Amino acid sequence: MAGYCGWNALTADPATPAIRIFVDADACPVKDEIFRVALRCGLRVFVVSNSLLRIPRNPLFEAVVVARGIFDGADDWIAERVTPTDIAVTADIPLAARCLEQGARVLDAKGRVYSPESIGDALASRELMANLRAMGEMGGGPAPFTARDRSTFLQRLDDLIQAIRRGSR
């Protein structure tokens, strides 16, 4: 059931691994949704960015600002810390691949869940699109973010949390 966490931080089994959410936050449009889910489920959230972002005051949430000017600094911080019981939220496909290599679950803000089986196609599509843009064959950016995207994201985030708690991939 979407929106139900089925878990209470006060009654949690200490043997159950803690789920953390790592957010590649500079351009993430679903931070508020992540905070709401994390509060409901008692999950730790790391909001990683190149500049200070406002986050709700709560001990579960931590803003991490990486040094400015360091290429992929936020990506490196996230990829070095994620574990198989963590979720990474990112639109950066190479970062998604790095997180999957660490065993983490990965989804983007539109609710696309990346897997070891799908990441190769995503990387190839990214490369193809970059080449087409460089040749002037394509312009513009991604499609606008919609209410349906937000809803899909929330459902997939809930699905990933439940899968981790069940111990399944």
105, 161 contact by CB (below 8 A): no
DSSP secondary structure code for residue 153 in this structure: H
Those residues of the chain that have pLDDT short of 50 are 1, 7-11
| pLDDT for residue 98 | 94
Q: Which domains does the chain have, with CATH numbers?
A: 20-139+147-166 (3.40.50)
Tens digits of per-residue pLDDT, 70-117?
678 899 999 999 999 999 999 888 999 999 999 999 999 999 999 888
Q: Which amino acid is at 88?
A: A
Helices assigned H by DSSP within 8-146: 31-41, 73-79, 93-101, 119-134
Q: What is the pTM of this model?
A: 0.82
* Residue-level pLDDT at 26: 83
Predicted local distance difference test score (pLDDT) of residue 11? 41
**8 Å CB contact between 43 and 17:** no
What is the reported pLDDT for 117? 80
Contacts of 7 (CB under 8 A, 6+ apart): 41, 42, 165
Per-residue tokens: 127: 């490369």
Taking the C-alpha atoms of residue 2 and residue 133, their distance in angstroms, rounded to an integer, is: 38
pLDDT for the residue numbered 7: 46
Tell me whether residue 18 is exposed, middle or buried, using C-beta atoms within 10 angstroms of its C-beta: 0 to 12, 13 to 18, 19 or more: middle
